[in-house]
Structure 1
Amino acid sequence: MRVPQPTISQPVHVWDGTEMLECVTVTPEAPNVASFCFQSPTGALFSFVPGQFLTLELPVEGETLYRTFTISSSPSRPMSISVTVKAQPGSRGTRWMLDHLKPGMKIKSTAPAGIFSSHRHPADKYLFISAGSGITPMMSMTTWMFDLGRPADVVFVNCARRPSDIIFRQRLEHMASRFPEIDLKFVVEGTDRFSPWTGYQGTFNQLMLGLMAPDYLEREVFCCGPEPFMQAVREALAGLGFDMTHYHQESFHPSLAEEAKVPTEGDVIPDEDTSAEVVFADSGVTKTCAETDTILATARAAGLNIPSGCTFGVCGTCRIKKVSGQVHMVHNGGITDDDIEDGYILACCSRPIGKVEVEA
C-alpha cells in the first residue's frame, strides 16, 4: 500500500496518537525477536525523544491487550516509528505480534511518553548498559547521536545469552565503525557452536565494568533490562562508589529501587479504614471503596474497563479526566504537569479522598 508522502505544498502534521498506526515492515532481528515499523497512513511525522515508549492496543483472542514497548527507532528519522519486541515464554501480546501482525495491518497506540532519555541528562560521556531487548532505548539514543553527526563519548554494553541473540549487532557495528566515540562491548553467557566468540563471556560484573569503562565514575549511566539484571548493575556501581544520582533505568516492572516518587496531587494520606466513593460519569456507575484502593482497581471491581498497561504510573495508558474531588496520586513519570493542570490523573496510582468523579 502506498503511503502518502509530505510535499512542500502539504502542511506537515505530527502524529499524536489519535490516528491508527499502519505496520509497513516486520524485520526478524534474533530468535523470537522482530522489529515492527509503523507509519501514519496520512503521512504524519513522528516527534518524540529517544528512549520514550509506546503503549500498543493488541487485539488478542477477542480481547484488547495493552502492551508497552520502548521505541527502537530514532526521532532523527521521523517518517516512521519502530518497536522491537521479544516473545518471552508464556507471553501473549508479543507472541501475537510475531505470529499475526503483518504489513498492512493497523493498530491503535498511545502517543510517545516516558522520561528515560539522554535528552534529559546531557553529558559528554555516557555508559549504556542493557540486556536482551533492553537494548531498544539505547539503540534509539545512539542512533540519534549517530545521525546528529557528533556523537557523545558512549561506551555501549549489551549482554545476551549467546552471540546470535545480540539484537542490532550489525547496525551497531556499522555506527561504531564510522565513529570511534561509540565503543561497543558485548557480553555473552555462552557461545554459538559454529561462531567463534572472542569477546567478554560470563555474567556482567564489577571487573568487566572496570575493563570496559575505566572512567565509569565520569559517565552518565543508563540501564535497561530484566529487573534482576538491573539490580546487579545497581549493586555493582554502588559497590564501586558510583554517584547514583547519575544512574537512570527504564523498566515496566516495579522494583524497590524505583518506587513511585513524584507525588502530584493531594496532601492527605489515604487511610485504609476510611471509605471513599468513585463516580464513573460516562458509565453512570458509583462504587464505594477504601481510600487506599486505586481508581483502576475500583473500576474493575465495578465491572468497568479502563485501559491500563504497567499499573504503576509509568506508561500513562490509564490516563483519565477527573471531573471533581481529590485524589492522592503518586506516579513514575507517566503523566505530564500540563496534563495534571488540565485535570487528568492516572487511574492506576490515584486513590480517592472522599467523593471523586471521573470521566470513565
Structure 2
Amino acid sequence: MMNAHASFSTTDFAPAMRQRQWAESAKQFVRCRRIIDDTSDVRTFVFSAASGHMFSFSAGQYLVLHLTIDGTRVTRSYSVSSPPTRPLDLQITVKRVKGGLVSNWLHDNLRPGHDIEIEGPVGRFNFDDLPSEKPLFLSGGSGITPVMSMLRALTDRASGHDIRFIHCARTANDIAFRSELEALAARFSNVDVSFICTQEGSAWQGPMGRIDGPMLLRLAPDLHQRTSYVCGPERFMQTVRACVAEIGIAPSQYHEESFGGAVGNSMPPQSAAA
C-alpha cells in the first residue's frame, strides 16, 4: 500500500523555477515532442514549452489553441489530460471527429518538432477549487481528459483519497487510457475503476448499455457520500443530470464540464466536436 503522506507538487520546486512557470491567460508557443496513439481515432499530443518554462495549472483545466488552418486563424479549447504534478510536459488528448476542422488538422498535420501557440490555463472545473476526499470521476467519450488529469494528479501524490472512476465508451476498443487505468486500479487500493460500453464488442464482458440511475448506483453504491466530477458530450451529460436528480444528489456534490454545450462551471472545451 502506498504511503498516504508521501506527496509532491509543483510547489516543491525552488522559487527560481516557479518564476518560469506558465502564467494564467498568457500566450506562448509550445513544441510537440511526442504523439501517442491511444485508440484508432484518439491521439495524445505531448508538448513542452518552447521557452523552457514549466507548466503550472490545476487538474481539470483546459487550454486554448491558436492555429492557422488554410490561411484562417482558428481557436479551439482542449482539456489538459496530463497532471500538474508533471510540470515539464503538457498533454492534450484529441479524438478525430468526422468533419471536425481542428481535430482532423491535428491528427493529419501536427508532428514532433512542430510549434503551436496556446493560451491558458482556463477553467473553474478543477480539483483545486472543487476538492473532495471521496471523488467520483464520471466521463463519457472524450470527456475523460479532464478527469484523467485529476486522477493522475492524485495518484502521483499517493494522496489516499477514496476514488471511483467510471468511464463510458462505445466499445472496449474505444476506451482511452484503458491500460493505464487498469494499472492504477491494480496498484492503488484506494482507486476503483469501471468501464461501461454502449455497444457490443469482442471479448467485452463488463457493464453494457447507456448509463442510468440503477447502473450508477451499482458501480458507486456510496454515491450520496461522494462528490461527482462529470464530463462528456451533451447527450451524455443530459442523461447523467437526470440520473443524479432522480437519485437526489445535492447540487453541492455535483460538478460538470460539458463538451460543446453551455452548461458547466466554465466555458467548455470543444474536443468532442472540433
Q: TM-score range by the shorter chain?
A: 0.7 to 0.9
Partner of 2:77, secondary structure, is strand
The answer for unaligned runs of 5 or more in structure 1 is 1-7, 261-312, 317-360
Counterpart in the other structure of 2:66 = 57
Amino acid at match of 2:56: S
Percent of residue pairs bearing the same amino acid type: 36
The CA deviation at 1:41 is 2.3
The one of 113, 119, 134 aligned to 1:104:
113
2: distance between equivalents of 1:135 and 1:44?
27
Does residue 199 in structure 1 map to residue 213 in structure 2? no
1:303-343 deviations in Å (ceiling 9; x for gaps): xxxxxxxxxx7269xxxxxxxxxxxxxxxxxxxxxxxxxxx
Pair 1:203–1:40, CA change in 2 (3 A): same
Q: How does 1:1-360 map to 2 (within 5 A)?
A: 11-12=16-17, 13-16=20-23, 17-193=26-202, 196-255=203-262, 258=264, 314=267
One-letter amino acid matched to 1:212: L
The residue identity in structure 1 corresponding to 2:180 is: R
Question: TM-score if structure 1 supplies the norm length?
Answer: 0.67
Deviations 1:223-269 (A, max 9, x none): 100111111001001101111221111124334x55x9xxxxxxxxx
SS of aligned partner of 2:27: coil
Larger relative contact order (CA 8 Å, sep ≥ 6): 2
AA aligned to 2:251 is M
Determine helix, strand or coil for the equivalent of 1:217. helix
User: How many residues end up aligned between the 2 structures?
Assistant: 253
Q: Deviations over 1:123-178 (max 9, x none)?
A: 22111110111000111000000010123111101000000000011111111111
Deviates more, 1:111-120 or 1:227-236: 111-120
- Listed as ranges, the gaps of 5+ residues in structure 2 are 1-12, 270-274
Please tell me whether the aligned partners of residues 55 and 315 of structure 1 are also in contact (alpha carbons under 8 angstroms).
no
Q: CA RMSD in A?
A: 2.0
Structure 1 match to 2:9: none
Q: Answer yes or no: is the 8 Å Cα contact 2:232–2:259 preserved in 1.
A: no
Structure 1, residues 260-310: CA drift from partner, whole Å, max 9, x if none?
9xxxxxxxxxxxxxxxxxxxxxxxxxxxxxxxxxxxxxxxxxxxxxxxxxx
The question of whether the paired residues in 2 share the 8 Å contact of 1:113 and 1:315 is answered with no
Aligned to 1:333: none
Task: Give the letter for the 1:314 counterpart.
Answer: M
Q: Is the 8 A contact 2:59 2:83 kept in 1?
A: yes
AA aligned to 2:238 is Q
Point out the structure with max Rg over C-alpha. 1
Q: How far is 1:18 from its partner? A: 3.5
Give the superposition deviation at 1:19: 2.7
| C-alpha separation in 1, matches of 2:159 and 2:186 | 14
Once the two structures are TM-superposed, the CA of residue 11 in structure 1 deviates from its matched residue by 4.2
Equivalent-residue separation in structure 1 for 2:238 and 2:259 (angstroms): 14
Amino acid at match of 2:108: D
* Residue number in structure 1 paired with 2:10: none
**3-state DSSP of counterpart to 1:29:** strand
Go from structure 1 to structure 2 and tell me whether the alpha carbon gap of 1:210 and 1:109 turns closer, same or farther (over 3 Å shift): same
| CA distance in structure 2 between the aligned counterparts of 1:203 and 1:315, rounded to whole angstroms | 23
